[in-house]
Amino acid sequence: MGEYRAYTVGVKLVSSVGSEFQSDTIFGQFCWALRFLEGEAVLKDFLSSYEKEKAPPLLISNGFPKGYVAKPMLIPVSQQQLGRILGESNRLEASSKIKTIKRMSIMPKALLKELQKEVITPRNLFEAMYRSYGTMVTEEHGRRASVVQHNTIDRARGSVRDGGLYASDEVFFHPEAGHFEIYLKTTYFSRDDLVRVFRYMGNEGFGRDASTGKGHFRCEVEDGIELPEPEQPNAFMTLSAYVPAEDDPVRGYYGVLHKYGKLGGLYAKGGAEVFRNPFKVPLIMFSAGSTFFDADYGRAKVYGRLLDHVHANKDIRHYAYAFPIGMNIEDTHEDV
């Protein structure tokens, strides 16, 4: 199918949202949008190309706050190193800041670009984030998580059902926040195709509780991807949730996600096609920011797979490809 074409999808939320922009969720909703827009035959042809072609026809990253990217996972900075970097007295005074930096899963793309000019170590990663702390956003910047109370309506009586009060978690963003970027590489779709599908997704709503008005967004699709990569990478970082294929490298530093996937679209209510079961089997996936050593990394190299055996319906699959960017990270450590 040719070489990958790269795109950046700019997303602006216009409502609260019940789900994070994770790659497997985006892929699932992308497939249902394609099915509703173009028909079942087009969706089946797209999915079958994952088996026919050596390169996946579409790679999708997580969504990141605009101007930010995943923070690479490395071995934690040791207490001895923190003492040398900050001094013992300053380390105690800055304990809250240190905890926040360690907990953060994102960092500015511009900061990663500077770090990519040399070998990235736990120490210089921490030092760069500590110096830039005052200008960085954290995951809490511009967002507010709220527990929202709901009533269950008795449709027969047209009134609230007794004992029908329940709560759900929702995330609201400040009007100046709520901007995200999703990265795509594809050999299958044109830019116009992507615009049509993502605008449909934005109009219908993304993720949990989309049917009640959550997850609505506006979007633009731009050519190209601006992500910093070193000249001589010895590893890669995934920007998506990821499950390695049999021969993929697994030595590195990683976080894990426990996924309890729910089917969407026409299968969301658990119809006969899915044997009355709208849930996938539980999965463990590497999270975005996980890093893996690979001396043979190249920009065209593919990691991950489309998982099968995730549901009794054998046609149902789960997206688990890495969206990799090259890294040059330290392979030895001090004070471990």
The string of pLDDT tens digits covering residues 128-145 is 999 988 877 655 444 444
Asked whether the beta carbons of 70 and 115 are under 8 A apart, the reply is no
pLDDT-based confidence at 157, cuts 50/70/90? low
The string of pLDDT tens digits covering residues 181-221 is 999 999 999 999 999 999 999 999 998 878 778 889 999 99
Please report the DSSP string for 209-275 in residue order: TGGGT-S-EEEEEEES------SS-SEEEESS-B---TTS---EE--EEEE--B--GGGTT--GGGT
pTM of this prediction exceeds 0.75:
yes
* Residue percentage of the chain with pLDDT more than 90: 67
Can you read off the two tokens belonging to residue 15? 């409502």
Can you read off the two tokens belonging to residue 266? 């026409």
- Provide the residue type at 14 as one letter: V
pLDDT-based confidence at 150, cuts 50/70/90? very low
The string of pLDDT tens digits covering residues 280-320 is 999 999 999 999 999 999 878 999 999 999 999 999 999 99
pLDDT-based confidence at 275, cuts 50/70/90? very high
H helix or E strand, kind and range, residue 173: strand 159-173
* 336: pLDDT strictly greater than 50: no
The string of pLDDT tens digits covering residues 53-73 is 788 999 999 999 999 999 999
First to last CA, the chain: 46
